[in-house]
Structure 1
Amino acid sequence: MIFGIGVDTVEIERVERAIRSARFAERVFSAAELELPLSSIAARFAAREAAIKALRGLHGLELIDFEVTREPLGPPHFVESPRLRAMLDSIGVDALHLTLSHDRTRATAFVVAERR
């Protein structure tokens, strides 16, 4: 059963300006994420925003708690840290499904929060 859905689109240039602030970058992204191409970083910011919409709020978490990774040739997914898993359990969400896309100027993410 779907608990919530969320979608977000960001301008890549806006994310580029934001991550020039080391404080912002460190509060939002993991070190591994910051090593990625700019379009991928922007897509991961959109993923965080889309997840918050799908979950109907942060529920005590911070943006850094929504780290996104992917295996080679695999789909993107949120890193399930103990903090994220505990929050999901507290609201009855079993899984977060994520897809990302970007072009030259924009990045988009779509998240489905699922209860089984």
Structure 2
Amino acid sequence: MIIGVGIDVAEIDRFGVSMRRTPGMAERLFVERELYLPSGERRGTASLAARFAAKEALAKALGAPAGLLWTDAEVVTEDSGQPRLVVSGTVAARAELLGVRSWHVSLSHDAGVASAVVIAEG
């Protein structure tokens, strides 16, 4: 049973400007594993914008309640390249309250826009 669906878009250049202009923003939005590739290289702006869009879409799928922490939702990449959500803390508590047992996430970025769709399933 589908409990919630969320979609979000982020303009990549605008997101990049915000990240450069606001010290500490990256650490408030992302956990270290999201910021860096396994090689230790920092992820590009398009990839981070898509991850941010996924977190926004996740919040929408949960009904956009107040109090969710950005770092309590992590977008990880499987060896296959498929994105997956890992939730903890405030996000996990809200998901449990709603009966969410699994997540589906899709990310994309093209033509200057990053997008994400999240489905919460019970």
2:64 corresponds, among 52, 57, 66, to: 57
The 5 A counterparts of 1:4-15 are 4-15=4-15
Number of aligned residue pairs: 115
TM-score normalised by L of structure 2: 0.84
For structure 1, list consecutive stretches of 5 or more residues without a partner in the other structure.
none
The CA distance in 1 between the partners of 2:102 and 2:46, in whole Å, is 25
The CA distance in 2 between the partners of 1:108 and 1:88, in whole Å, is 22
What are the Cα deviations for residues 3-22 of structure 1, in whole angstroms up to 9, with x where unaligned?
A: 11111111001110121122
Amino acid at match of 1:99: S
CA RMSD, Structure 1 to Structure 2 (Å): 1.6
Instruction: Determine what percentage of the aligned residue pairs are the same residue.
Output: 43
What are the Cα deviations for residues 47-86 of structure 1, in whole angstroms up to 9, with x where unaligned?
A: 0111111110245321121111112224101123355333
Indicate if the aligned counterparts of 2:8 and 2:57 stay in contact, CA closer than 8 A. Answer: yes
TM-score normalised by L of structure 1: 0.88
The 5 A counterparts of 1:25-104 are 25-34=26-35, 35-58=42-65, 60-81=67-88, 83-104=90-111
The CA distance in 2 between the partners of 1:50 and 1:80, in whole Å, is 13
